[in-house]
Amino acid sequence: ERIWTHQDPDYLPPEIDTSKPSIARVYDAFLGGKDNFAVDRAIAMEGMKHFPDGGGGARNNRAMLFRGVKFMTEQGIDQFLDVGSGLPTMDNTHSVAQRINPDARVVYVDNDPIVLAHARALLQTNDKTRVITADMREPEAIFHHPKVEGFLDFSRPIGLLLVAVVHHLGDDERPAELVDTYKARLAPGSYLQLTHFCSCAPEVRALEGVLLSMLGTGRARDLEEITRFFDGLELVEPGVVHLPEWRPEEPVERPLDLAGICIAGG
């Protein structure tokens, strides 16, 4: 099997189509990463015409992801299911969790094969972290995936991450019911970390328009709708908020700017 590594920069696995944009690569372009192609950058550039600090929004999201993983690990969570994990970048769920608990196990799930290609190279020497290609809309296939079953113990608490991924589902795909299916599979004491593109300013609506028309996905929902994804769970303080307000480790500059309000979560 040929593995795509950074030592072999020209090799592209055949399943990677560089003529069509990919959510993971567009997000990487917003983050200022290098794992994207012209077709992805065109969308990020168009989006930034309407929302110049789209990169700031993505970075706030990554920062909150890490604060959440750190928090969950400190609460004793030692296994994570990170669905819609995206391309590995500067820091990642497993590195944050394993810095605190080297035995923490992480499964990354993404439906974009480019994530598997990159993560496999990154994780060759990490036997506590796995990556699978699967669709979040098929949770049973994820729970029973041969690389998940026996690796994550669903009879014990799990940290489930649905970070910046549920906004890629249309209302017709019944996202709340899907999130409920995941919640129902988790043992008591588990955590859900979920963030979502938040429709709180005209500029966010404009960015949403670009994403929907050029990428075909990326819906903003309001704070109330996002909060409802947590129905039936006890909310960790301060609840579902714009991301810089979620347990900040540094002083927060208020009022929040657009990059601060464009994504909410808990």
Closest CA to 209 of 201, 195, 219: 219
- Nearest distance from C-beta of residue 243 to ligand SAM, angstroms: 10
- Nearest distance from C-beta of residue 100 to ligand SAM, angstroms: 19
Residue of minimal Cβ distance to ligand SAM: 86
Integer angstrom CA distances of residue 238 from 148, 151, 234, 243? 32, 32, 11, 11
Q: Kindly list the residues in this chain that would bind ligand SAM in the complex (CB under 6 A).
A: 23-24, 27, 61-62, 65, 84-86, 110-112, 115, 135-137, 163-165, 168
**Phi and psi dihedrals of 222, rounded to 5?**
-85, 170
- Nearest distance from C-beta of residue 169 to ligand SAM, angstroms: 7
* Per-position DSSP letters for 202-219, written without gaps between them: HHHHHHHHHHHHHTS---
Q: How far apart are CA 215 and CA 220, in angstroms?
A: 14
Cβ-based nearer residue to ligand SAM, 36 or 190: 36
Cβ-based nearer residue to ligand SAM, 63 or 234: 63
Residues 208, 24, 130, 109: is their CA dihedral positive or negative? positive
- Nearest distance from C-beta of residue 133 to ligand SAM, angstroms: 8
Cβ-based nearer residue to ligand SAM, 88 or 157: 88
Q: How far apart are CA 88 and CA 93, in angstroms?
A: 9
Cβ-based nearer residue to ligand SAM, 117 or 155: 117
Q: How far apart are CA 166 and CA 169, in angstroms?
A: 6
- Nearest distance from C-beta of residue 173 to ligand SAM, angstroms: 9
Closest CA to 238 of 252, 222, 220: 252
Cβ-based nearer residue to ligand SAM, 147 or 254: 147
